[in-house]
Structure 1
Amino acid sequence: MRENLDETDVTLLNELQRNARQSLDELAAGTGLSPATIQRRVRSLRERGVLTGDIALVDPLKVGTPMTFVVMVELERERLDQIDAFTRRAQRDSMVQQCYYLTGEADFCLICTASDMNDFEELTKRLFFEDSNVRRFRTSVVMGRKKVGLQIPVALRA
């Protein structure tokens, strides 16, 4: 369900996605509104679920997790309880950065991070080999990070 957003909401969302650490004064200067109005607007966006959180982006090389993997997972059975069970396991594992439920050949696409191949092998045991409902999984090793982000393009729509 699309929220009703006005021009100020769109500006705030784009600015906060660019830099969530901006002060209310900085955000106000960019919109021509008062800091108190900006604060109310941001609170409303949070309460309506448009803004779902604030994150810090960490350089994986600098924290010892330089490897990224794209894993396509096929389940044996696609019953709702089985899909939910796999989803919960992926959500709980800190090495799984993103988990998408898909149409097509694979049922899930996971974006995973690891310190090395041994670390990734442990993940495969936990998530795939120990789950009797995983039919198969195919892994691609990311050779280079060319664009990484979670920004959603926000614009006014008619």
Structure 2
Amino acid sequence: MAQNPPPRALDSFDKAILRLLQRDNKMPQRQIASRVNLSAAAVQRRIASMEKAGIITRNCAEVNVRAVQMSITAIVEVHLVDERIATVDAAKALFQASPSVQQCYYVTGGISFVVIIVAKDMTTYEEITRELFSRNEAVARFRSLIALDRVKCGMDIVIP
């Protein structure tokens, strides 16, 4: 697995730009420039530099799950049969490739992975669990926690 490059140092302008982009990545660069006291060209160069450095990894839209009839959000604890590198790497690849997996974390504390899955309904969720967990010999067991309400969901990080 490739090593991540050392992080590029962020100055106060970069941090201010990132804070604004996390709230609205469609904000015009001239408006960002006005708010952070830089020229639009400087903002454009900084955004391009942060994209190239892997600081900004993608631009996406946050979708209202109810509006697209996705009624099930499941937080799944996955326990692997062992923690050998090959087993963990295969699980990572499977979860990363699955369009049903919204988020996946390799964790400590007696659980191998925490996986977030959004599904249309319980029948669809059962099909997903069969595909990802029940038929997977590397999975010793899994436990599903079904969310009753989505209180907060987002990808924003606090940038000091």
Give TM-score, length-normalised by structure 2. 0.94
Structural mapping, 1:48-127, within 5 Å: 48-127=53-132
How many positions carry a matched residue from both structures? 155
1:2: how far off? 4.4
AA of the residue aligned to 2:94:
R
Q: Which runs of 5+ in 1 are unaligned?
A: none
The residue number in structure 1 matching 2:3 is: none
1:72: how far off? 0.1
1:3: how far off? 3.1
Task: Say which SS state the counterpart of residue 63 (structure 1) adopts.
Answer: coil
Is residue 27 of structure 2 the alignment partner of residue 27 of structure 1? no
Contact 2:7-2:53 at 8 Å conserved across structures: no
Q: Which runs of 5+ in 2 are unaligned?
A: 1-5
Q: Percent identity?
A: 35
1:67: how far off? 1.0
Q: How big is each residue's C-alpha offset from its partner over 1:43-68, in whole Å with a ceiling of 9 and x where there is no partner?
A: 11111111111010111111121210
Among candidates 49, 53, 77, match of residue 44 of structure 1 = 49
For the aligned residue pairs, the C-alpha RMSD in angstroms reads: 0.9
Which 4+ stretches in 1 moved above 6 angstroms?
A: none
Among candidates 12, 23, 26, match of residue 7 of structure 1 = 12
Give TM-score, length-normalised by structure 1. 0.95
